[in-house]
Structure formats: C-alpha cells, structure tokens
Amino acid sequence: MTPSSSTRSTSHTSSEKLSGKVAIVTGGSKGIGLAIARSLGEMGAKVSICARDKDRLNQAAEDLRKEGIDVLAVPADVTRAKDIASLVETTEKKLGPIDILINNAGIGRWGPVHQMSEEDYDSVLDTNLKAVFLLTKAVAPGMIGRNRGQIVNIASLAGKNAILGGSIYCASKWGLLGFTKSVAEDLRGHGIRVSAVCPGSVVTEFSPHTGRDPSKMLQPEDVAHAVAALVTENPRSLISELEIRPARKP
C-alpha cells in the first residue's frame, strides 16, 4: 500500500530532524517496515532496508528513491548471522555508521498448540526474537563506541495478551518485550536508547482480519508515526514502550 502525500505528511517528517543519520529497517520491503523506512527517510535519514524477497525489496527501494529518499536495499535473511553481518557491513560501507536500528521483521504461525510443529516454533522464534538479538549484538559495539544510538523493536500487544491460536507468536513477542527492557538497561549508560512499540492489529498482509473493518484498524503509517516520535524525542528522556490501539474498535 502506497500512502497518499497527505497521509505521509506529519509534524515529524517535515522538519528533516534526522538529517545525516543512518538507519537500518528490517522487513523494509512492505507493510509496517516500508512505512517506517519512508518516514525516517522523509526526516532526512539515509535508510538501509532488508528483506528476503529480493525483487520486492528492490521495487520498494525504487519507489522510495522516486520520493527523494536516500535508500539502500540489502537482501538478507535476518535469521542468519552471516546475512546480518553482511547487512551491517554493507550499510556502514555505503551509508556510514549506524545510528538507528529498527527491528521490524516478523512472522506468525497460527493454530492450536497441539497442531503446531517444531518447525513452526523455530521459524517464529528465530525471526521474531533471535534475529533481534543478533542484530542488536551486531550494531551495539559501534553505538557504544560513539556513545549514542537508538534501537526500536516492533513488538505487539500480543506480547501482553493471550490470543486464541497464537501461542508461538505470543511467546515470541512476550520474549521480545523482556529482551527489550533488559537490553535498555545494558545500553542506557552508553547513551543508547532501546524501546518497544506494541501495535494492535494493523492492516497489512501479515495476518487475516476476517470480520473487521479495515478503515477502523491501525495503518502501517500509524506505527511509523510512533517510531518517528521515539527517534526524535529529547535526548534527556527515554520512552521505554509505546502501545498503539485503534481509536475505535474495528
């Protein structure tokens, strides 16, 4: 989904607040990740986006460039440490030191626990939780050396609430929230802010929304707006977590 110019125009994105900053956005070829990449780029950041689907990733990058955004597309599977190392190395070589990491890539597997497989469990936990650990571990030393940085993990209200058929997904997001809060304590003494964004259901390809009115649901741009608030907050403060719900029940 390509938002209209009126949808994209916000008080955050009009002021070039991130000019000269370098950001990585995982899962940046569609949905929430693409909206976040667009928002950061509109604020002046140089953005590196990654995804597994090379063709879709390149198309997303081309669309962003047409909007005047400085973007780098790096195909990567974030569950693989070698791909992450290449993503970080390529980004720093072509764009510069990484100031912002947005851990957005995520997948879901749905169904009663007794019908889920070990492969289902491994794929969800590897993508939604292990990848965040690997990426954080990869960028943290550079941020520590510069005594600054921002890491935003896209979690979910499913990390706080039980969902029918969502045992594996919920486990990954509960784990992500615990990881985020602990890493925030590890890194805050080095001038690095670590936060989580917890959206409710968002209109994307991620999961079906049978019976819900999409016009009343959250849009990817709503999550991007929350991320923009986090990465432009006063350096003295740390917003640890943001929960986002639709203004009206869908």
Is residue 91 assigned to a domain?
A: yes
Is residue 114 assigned to a domain?
A: yes
Is residue 142 assigned to a domain?
A: yes
The catalytic residue positions are: 169
Count of domains forming the chain: 1
Is residue 27 assigned to a domain?
A: yes
Q: In what order do the strands lie in the sheet with 71-75?
A: 71-75, 46-51, 22-26, 100-103, 149-154, 192-199, 241-244
Closest-CA residue to 229 (of 144, 150, 163): 150
Percent of the chain at pLDDT exceeding 70: 91
* Confidence at residue 235, expressed as pLDDT on a 0 to 100 scale: 86
Is residue 4 assigned to a domain?
A: no
Is residue 89 assigned to a domain?
A: yes
Residue 215: pLDDT band with limits 50, 70, 90:
confident
Is residue 3 assigned to a domain?
A: no
* CATH number where 236 lies: 3.40.50.720
> DSSP alpha helices (H): ranges in the chain?
5-8, 31-42, 54-66, 81-94, 118-125, 131-146, 167-187, 220-231
| Residues 217-237, mean pLDDT to the nearest whole number | 94
DSSP β-ladder status, 100-103 and 149-154: parallel
| Residues 100-115, mean pLDDT to the nearest whole number | 96
Mean pLDDT of the chain: 92
Render pLDDT for 74-98 as a digit per residue (tens, 0 to 9): 999 999 999 999 999 999 999 999 9
